[in-house]
Chains A and B, each alone.
Chain A
Amino acid sequence: MNEATQQTPVLEARNIGKSLGGRPILSDLSLSVYKGEMKVLIGPSGAGKSTFLQCLNHLITPDTGELLLNGERISPANKGELRSLRERVGMIFQDFNLFDHLTAQENVSIALVKVKKMSRRDASLRAMMELERVGLSRRAGLYPAELSGGQKQRVAIARALAMDPEVILLDEPTSALDPELVGEVLAAIRELARGGMTMIMATHQMDFARALATEILFMEKGAIIERGAPASLLAPGAKTRTQAFFARLVAEESAC
């Protein structure tokens, strides 16, 4: 046994299943993420990546399975436990989901005041610090509509970081961005990984996944059909589904 498996996972999902209208959309998904790891979910659209991520903080309630945060079983029926789960698990969305009526700084500070019960002053200072970290302290007073997509996503990252989450879920954080804005967001995420943040990320950025993932999980039709280190799944000549998917993405990109 290596060292990692002897620790308790930061977040563990066991046998998550979900059906909608009698049709299974997630079947028996399990995942453990340890401190400082980055798990990457890849797979075609409609594979259930986003649904799975949202089951991990119960934005979507799974039908079956259980969640453990630092080894403690979460009962989501208990509102207090559910809120503490969400407070401790950060989330970044594909389309940012900033609060439109609040400035960048207020977007970051509001949950500190409302959920963490910080004073307004401390929350504003902390928000400034987080915006500084993603390079946006000079945009603190602007509203979401006045920011570019990349800037919006960096504010969303600052908003999640300010809560001091134990793990961050990233749901295709660059998919809604213009190509020239992808880089700045990936750079911010890379910086997080370097700082030892634990993350689970759904993405189509294969180069990014290859470089940073501890493990890649390939999903199709609501199931994980392949998993492994990027070095083995994406090894030149490897006959894996992941490799085939990767090759097709590259081919499509060069065809454009």
Chain B
Amino acid sequence: MLSLDMFWNRVIPALNEGLFFSLSLIIPSAVIGFLGGVCIGALRVYAPPAVRRIADFHVGVIRGVPLLLQLYFLYYALPKWGVRFSPYQAALLGFILCSSAYHSEYIRGALLSIRQGQVKAAYALGFSTLQMALCIVIPQAVRRALPGCGNEIIYLIKYSSLAYVLTFIELTGHAKELTARSFHYIEIYFTAGMYYLAMTSLAAWLLGLLEKKTRIPGFGAQK
């Protein structure tokens, strides 16, 4: 049995440090990944066919190859071509690419669900395509995509643990190191699990709040 003293003075501080490193990956990946997803999603609907195909191909590759393999590629293969990332940079880049690809799919679906009449009305008033997308369609599509995008952010919180394989020691990494020294697998992994559960619960709560804040009477899914 793990002593209470060791739990409070060794395990919790180490996991807290891991939590800090995890958050340093999750928060920028979530924000940049979401914004990138909106851009890629919009390109996949409104860009000229050539650009659209490139964006579709990009998303196809990112979604179609295991994330773990992509991370290995970024960290271990790219240096052979002279592109060097720190473990943090490689993990962050991998997560942003992955997250934005999934977000773009939710955004694309939401963009397509906006009634075409509103697009016509915007053009009829003299809007450019960019203005139409930015002022009319994207604000509505983002609201409609929020539940899906929230799902992706929760998923991101969990797959951030893959950074461990690039020697970036975040929450899971710290837990693993603690068990390697103390062999208290049950207590340590259970506690680390609670940390993740706390993060995902907090994220779910914040996303629900955001959905409520941006809700428009009679628009989108009503509760």
Residues of A bordering B, CB below 8 Å = 54, 57, 59, 79, 83-84, 86-87, 89-91, 93, 95-101, 110-111, 114-115, 142-146, 156, 159-160, 163
The answer to whether B57 has its CB under 8 Å from any CB of chain A is: no
What's the Cα separation between A104 and B139 when bound, in Å?
A: 16
Q: How far is the CA of A101 from the CA of B136 in the complex (A)?
A: 8
Known interface pairs A99-B136, A101-B143; A143-B125 also in contact (CB < 8 Å): no
Other-chain contact of A110, B117, B135, B216, B218 (Cβ < 8 Å): B135
Contact check, A59 vs B120: say whether CB atoms are below 8 A apart.
yes
Pick out which of these stretches binds chain A: B42-50, B126-134, B202-210: B126-134
Out of B117, B121, B126, B136, name the residue touching A115 (CB < 8 Å): B126
Query: What is the CA–CA distance of A156 and B122 in the complex, to the nearest angstrom?
Result: 12
**A contact residues around B120 at 8 Å (CB):** 54, 59, 93, 97
B218-A143 in contact (CB<8A): yes
Minimum distance in angstroms from B23 CB to a CB of chain A: 32
Q: Given A83, A91, A101, A156, which contacts B128 in the complex, CB threshold below 8 Å?
A: A83
Complex-state Cα separation, A57 to B122, whole angstroms: 12
Is the CB–CB distance between A93 and B123 below 8 Å? no
Neighbouring A residues of B123 by C-beta, 8 Å: 59, 86
A90 to B121, CA, bound (A): 10
Residue from the list B115, B121, B126, B139 in contact with A87, Cβ < 8 A: B126
Within 8 Å by CB of B216, from A86, A100, A159, A160, lies: A100
Nearest chain B CB to A63 CB, angstrom units: 19
A-B contact pairs, 27 of them (CB 8 A): A59-B120, A59-B124, A79-B128, A86-B124, A89-B124, A90-B124, A91-B124, A93-B121, A97-B118, A97-B120, A98-B121, A99-B118, A99-B122, A100-B115, A100-B118, A100-B216, A100-B219, A101-B139, A101-B219, A111-B122, A114-B131, A114-B135, A143-B217, A143-B218, A145-B216, A145-B218, A145-B219
- Residues 130 to 180 of chain B near chain A (Cβ within 8 Å): 131, 135-136, 139-140, 143
**B41 CB → nearest A CB, Å:** 17
Residues in A neighbouring B216, C-beta threshold 8 A: 100-101, 143, 145
Nearest-neighbour CB distance to chain A for B15, whole angstroms, equals 42
Interface residues on B, range: 20 to 34
- The answer to whether B124 touches A115 (Cβ under 8 A) is no
A153 to chain B: closest CB distance in Å?
Answer: 12
On whether the beta carbons of A111 and B127 are closer than 8 Å, the reply is yes
Contact between A95 and B128, CB atoms less than 8 A apart: no
Chain B residue at minimal CB-CB distance from A144: B218
Whether the pair A86, B125 counts as a contact (CB closer than 8 A) is: yes
A146 touching B218, Cβ below 8 Å: yes
Residues of chain B contacted by A83 (CB below 8 angstroms): 126-128
4 A-B pairs with least C-beta separation: A145-B218, A87-B126, A97-B121, A97-B117
Residues of B within 8 A of A144 (CB): 218
| Cross-chain contact A95 with B126 (CB below 8 angstroms) | no
How long is the Cα–Cα vector from A179 to B124 in the complex, in angstroms?
27
Would A101 and B124 count as touching, CB distance under 8 A?
A: no
**What is the CA–CA distance of A143 and B215 in the complex, to the nearest angstrom?**
11
Of chain A, the residue at the smallest CB distance from B114 is: A100
Assembled-state Cα–Cα distance A97/B117 (Å):
5
Interface centre among A97, A101, A144, A159 (most CB of B within 10 A): A101
Known contacts A115-B125, A163-B126; can you find 4 more A-B pairs with CB under 8 A? A91-B124, A100-B115, A101-B219, A115-B127
Interface centre among B122, B139, B143 (most CB of A within 10 A): B122
Nearest opposing residue in chain A for B217, CB measure: A143
- Contact residues in B for A114 (Cβ distance below 8 Å): 127, 131, 135
Most chain A CB atoms below 10 A, which of B120, B122, B124, B217: B124
Give the nearest-CB partner of B126 in chain A: A87
